[in-house]
Chains A and B, each alone.
Chain A
Amino acid sequence: MDNLQYLLLLFISTVLINNFVLIQFLGICPFLGVSRHVETAFSMGLAATFVMTMTAFATYFINTFILVALNLEFLRYMSFIIVIASLVQFVEMFIKKVSPVLYKALGIYLPLITTNCAIMGMALLIPMNDYNFIESIIFGFGAGVGFTLAIVLIAGLREEAQYGDVPRDLQGMPITLILAGLMALAFMGFAGLAMV
């Protein structure tokens, strides 16, 4: 029971308190680049969540049973980036075969995920925090949910901001950054929830 409670806390902490985008600054590029419309933002979040959970799974095994076991930690960055790149490729082929509808919905967002630093950051944070297998999966999934939450919220705000009277030089990226700043301030309120 204690264990279950701890895992739930870890999940909440990853999604809200240490939100990947707004508190840890990971995955800012897609956060700003693919957040014009709520639907596309949601597709991007879905694809990222899927890849993140898979990456957490794969990199945990590679790190524990190959890199640490054979004293090859200096190859960590190299092996992780290869895992992520091939995983994205694999997921793309898999989805194309199994569910063409989902493939169409995710479309060009899948390959973009390789250079999403939230995924690489998540993979690197697992060995840094010494998570075990279950914790790694929860952490990866929570990171993806947090990313989706942030990108969908900002897309909603941007859709509204289009109709606002924004000064010419603040249009586009600057106003999005300012909106994100206000959101980050709001997310800091979650800091009181719990700490893991």
Chain B
Amino acid sequence: MARYFAIFKNGLWNENPIFKLIIGLCPTLAVTNTVVNGFAMGMATGFVLISSEIVISLIKKFIPNDVRIPSFILIIVTFVTFTDYFLGAFFPEIADALALFIPLIVVNCLILGRQEAFASRNPTRRAIFDAVGMTVGFTWVLVVLSAIRELFGFGTLAGVDIFGAGYTNMIIMILPGGAFLTLGVLVGVLNLLDRKVGSDNG
């Protein structure tokens, strides 16, 4: 069990997709203007990641090595189409807010990267732990980033007013420039934490 937990924990910090592996940044920057959007994006990506890691780790023996990348993409795109229609039917506001970035989960290097690096080489149970760990790791950075941007940009947190009526919104946090700046500073702070705290455990 401890072994599985180690795989899970890997995605949270040591191999965090955003600030360690530096992949999947397009949705990270684009949809993190509110906490709800950031969380929804994390969940949608996570669903596709977990489902495709399960399927690919199950059928990996039947996929010829030469055509594995196209096969992975076809499996991923099936789940992405499903997610897109599901969100459109049950959560239309979220589907509107995320818009283009739901179909773009297909080309999120995080998903294809994990299939290539993990699911195609490991048994299903390990792949599930890897996928869940990566999902949580991806989602927590998205939520932290979107919390910072929403708090300063709108003065709210997940729609709840924090600073009261007198607060002047910092428009820059909502604009594209603010996304780059916030993520840059956030990754810098996480690197600092990693160097100070992370080096103790190994």
Contact = CB atoms under 8 A, between A and B. Distances in A.
A67 interface: no
Interface stretch (B5-13, B56-64, B101-109, B157-165): B101-109
* B interface SS class: helix
A180 B78 CA distance: 34
Contact of A116 (B107, B175, B181): B107
Contacts of A184: 175-177, 179-180
Interface stretch (A26-34, A45-53, A56-64, A140-148): A26-34
Interface string A181-196: 1101100100000000
A181 B184 contact: yes
Interface residues of A, number: 43
Given A25-B26, A25-B179, A32-B22, A81 B77 contact: yes
A64 B84 CA distance: 21
A120 B176 contact: no
Given A169-B188, A169-B191, A177-B181, A124 B103 contact: yes
A54 interface: no
B70 interface: yes
Interface of B: 22-23, 25-27, 29-30, 70, 73-74, 77-78, 80-81, 84-85, 100, 103-104, 106-109, 112, 172, 175-181, 183-185, 187-189, 191-192, 195
